[in-house]
Structure 1
């Protein structure tokens, strides 16, 4: 009887989530977030900060971001690599904003997994493109600023 290693389980979980995202279904990616999940976007863009808590990620990052898109977001996963509780995902995203700007970015997500769920995600991307193509998000909630 063979058991799957934590590395393989984490790789498989995120590979499946990204395969669904590539088809336009983001729910498995959201389902892979722990309730106390945090997402960090480094840099000095209006979007750059740490979003702490799954609901904060959904309400202050993902919903305002996707609200700017004029068409469905299209992603193409290039690689999913894992080592223990760390998963690295390289992918491309393509979409046009409601302002008519192309937002075609390349991403590298470095995810820390815990219990089969994403605990932390560090997102590396073209921050100059973020600043030029996207409108600033709404102001963070007071609770997010206190975190």
Structure 2
């Protein structure tokens, strides 16, 4: 796929996620996707495979939220097989505090599938608001 096609695939996925539906993003992931979370806390590290992303990252994360998490993209930059997305997440945690984090995602795509995701965000907010991830 071209850079423009990769960018459009992610625009479509983020349009759905902005409405609370992460399924198009999950559907676009390769089965052996690697999602790497930056930082130096319990949430940091690599999650290998779509099942691990769902079970070990998104499941524990979603369990902390009181309502539907949304992520609204504000910028897409594409070159070759890489698309960079700036986004703003919004949600209230079950404990009460807001978890409204800003993100920069770097996606690498291959044959119309997301192969790699590198996530950069406010790690201090993670430490202050989220409970530690048990591994």
Question: In structure 2, what is the equivalent of residue 144 of structure 1?
Answer: none
Question: In structure 2, what is the equivalent of residue 31 of structure 1?
Answer: 27
Kindly indicate whether residue 37 of structure 2 is the aligned counterpart of residue 48 of structure 1: no
Kindly indicate whether residue 69 of structure 2 is the aligned counterpart of residue 69 of structure 1: no
**Secondary structure of 1:19 counterpart:** helix
Consecutive aligned runs of 4 or more in structure 1 exceeding 3 Å deviation: none
1:137 Cα offset (Å): 1.8
Question: In structure 2, what is the equivalent of residue 145 of structure 1?
Answer: none
Question: In structure 1, what is the equivalent of residue 88 of structure 2?
Answer: 92
Q: Is the 8 A contact 2:42 2:134 kept in 1?
A: no
**Pick aligned residue for 1:17 from 9, 13, 18:** 13
**Secondary structure of 1:64 counterpart:** helix
1:104 Cα offset (Å): 0.8
Structure 1: unaligned runs, 5 residues or longer = 140-147
TM-score, normalised with respect to structure 1: 0.89
**Pick aligned residue for 1:118 from 101, 114, 119:** 114
Q: Which has the larger radius of gyration?
A: 1
Equivalenced residue count is 135
1:74 Cα offset (Å): 2.4
- Could you say what the CA RMSD is over the residues aligned between the two structures, in angstroms? 0.9
Structure 2: unaligned runs, 5 residues or longer = none
**Secondary structure of 2:95 counterpart:** coil
Q: Deviations over 1:45-85 (max 9, x none)?
A: 11000001110011000011011000111222101111110
